[in-house]
């Protein structure tokens, strides 16, 4: 009798161990299979590379060329009245207050007229102003470096209007044309030219920018003040 009881106890213990092992194996197998397959990626390659900021963002804002706001920085080429390259590369920097207004003006004319802006010149370092003067030392056409220009403060722009295809509207003369036909006071015989100049003037003045008598393309912001600057932007 005692032997039979002992046998049954041993049998039950053995059976319990076998079942426990079997259930553990099943559970382990199921758990492993239920885990998602790890995805190994090159995380460095998937990180979007952002351009490094190479200027003082508290002092300057950069206007970037895109399909909506165009840059044609003439002094970075020889396609200008001096027939010489003045800037090492084409970038458009402005003081933050003026940059904000240019963006608002651009959005305004996009929404109301479907037009855009094209920038011919923005901030101009004083060394560049000196280069212009050395080539054309005539105060009728170039501001003397000692006097300084609003461009040297980062508070002036030379610009025009473009249509939805990026084509310049007819303003009667080319940019940097030195003659009475480029004067804002000139009564141009072409009504389309008069209309385009009037629209440009209205847009600029509505946003607080003022022009000068002799250049239809030049506008500046005079409600803030900055010193003349010699800073020259880096070229990448």
Kindly tell me the burial class for residue 124, based on how many C-beta atoms sit within 10 Å of its own C-beta (0-12, 13-18, 19 or more): buried
β-strand partners of 159 = 119
Question: At CA 221, angle to CA 216 and CA 223, rounded to 5?
Answer: 145
List the catalytic residue out of 111, 181, 215, 232. 215
d(CA 224, CA 207): 14
Handedness of CA 78, 79, 82, 83 (dihedral sign): positive
DSSP string spanning 15-59? HHHHHHHHHHHHHHHHHHHHSPPPPP--HHHHSPP-PPP-S-TTT
Annotated active-site residue 215? The verdict is yes
Handedness of CA 123, 126, 127, 130 (dihedral sign): positive
Positions marked active-site: 215
């Amino acid at each position: 009798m005692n032997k039979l009881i002992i046998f049954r106890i041993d049998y039950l213990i053995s059976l319990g161990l076998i079942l426990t092992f079997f259930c553990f194996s099943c559970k382990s197998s199921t758990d492993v299979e239920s885990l998602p397959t790890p995805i190994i990626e090159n995380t460095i390659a998937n990180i979007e590379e952002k351009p490094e900021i190479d200027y003082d963002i508290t002092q300057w804002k950069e206007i970037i060329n895109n399909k909506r706001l165009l840059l044609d920085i003439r002094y970075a080429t020889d396609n200008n009245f001096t027939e010489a390259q003045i800037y090492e590369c084409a970038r458009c920097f402005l003081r933050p207050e003026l940059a904000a207004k240019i963006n608002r003006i651009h959005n305004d004319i996009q929404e109301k007229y479907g037009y855009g802006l094209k920038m011919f010149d923005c901030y101009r370092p004083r060394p560049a102003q000196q280069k212009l003067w050395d080539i054309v030392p005539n105060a009728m056409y170039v501001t003397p470096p000692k006097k300084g220009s609003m461009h040297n403060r980062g508070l002036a722009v030379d610009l025009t209007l473009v249509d939805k295809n990026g084509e310049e509207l007819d303003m009667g003369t080319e940019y940097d044309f030195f003659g009475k036909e480029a004067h804002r006071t000139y009564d141009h015989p072409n009504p389309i030219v008069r209309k385009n100049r009037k629209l440009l003037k209205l847009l600029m003045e509505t946003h607080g920018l003022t022009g000068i008598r002799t250049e239809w393309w030049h506008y500046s912001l005079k409600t803030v003040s900055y010193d003349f600057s010699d800073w020259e932007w880096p070229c990448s």
